[in-house]
Amino acid sequence: LTRSLAVQLGPHGIRVNSVTPNRIGSPVGEDVDPPDRFVKNLVGRRGVPGDIARAVLFLVSDDSDFITAADLLVDGGAMASMI
């Protein structure tokens, strides 16, 4: 979907990107997910909503004006640690 929209909207100067987060901690989830579950990512901590917000802020900023049709994986290195 991201790439398809980027192809359609790119000629109009519109960039399209997506963000794929890992599980993000919240007070509600603390009872369900034990804290040691998140040690498996490379950062060694649970993600927080601010981690995703900063990624989105980067993508909408002029600092990323040459990035389009991309998916930004924000997972603390969890996918890389599965190698």
Per-residue pLDDT reduced to its tens digit, 16-64: 999 999 888 877 766 666 666 656 789 988 899 999 999 999 999 999 9
Pick 32 or 2 by higher pLDDT.
2
Query: pTM for the full model?
Result: 0.83
- CATH code of the domain containing 33: 3.40.50.720
HSE-CB of 82 using CA atoms within 13 angstroms: 5
- Let me know if residue 80 belongs to a domain: no
Pick 32 or 71 by higher pLDDT.
71
- Let me know if residue 81 belongs to a domain: no
Q: Can you give the residue range of the structural domain that contains 20? A: 2-75
Is 81's pLDDT higher than 60?
Answer: yes
- Let me know if residue 83 belongs to a domain: no
Q: What is the pLDDT of residue 83?
A: 77
Q: Considering its fold, how many domains does the chain have in total?
A: 1
Which residues does 65 contact at the CB level (< 8 Å), separation at least 6?
A: 15
- Let me know if residue 19 belongs to a domain: yes
Q: What is the pLDDT of residue 34?
A: 66
- Let me know if residue 82 belongs to a domain: no
**DSSP codes of every residue in the chain:** -HHHHHHHHGGGT----EEEE--B--TTGGGTS-GGGGGGSSS-S-B-HHHHHHHHHHHHSGGGTT--S-EEEESTTTTGGG-
The strand pairing partners of 8, in sequence order, are: none
- Let me know if residue 17 belongs to a domain: yes
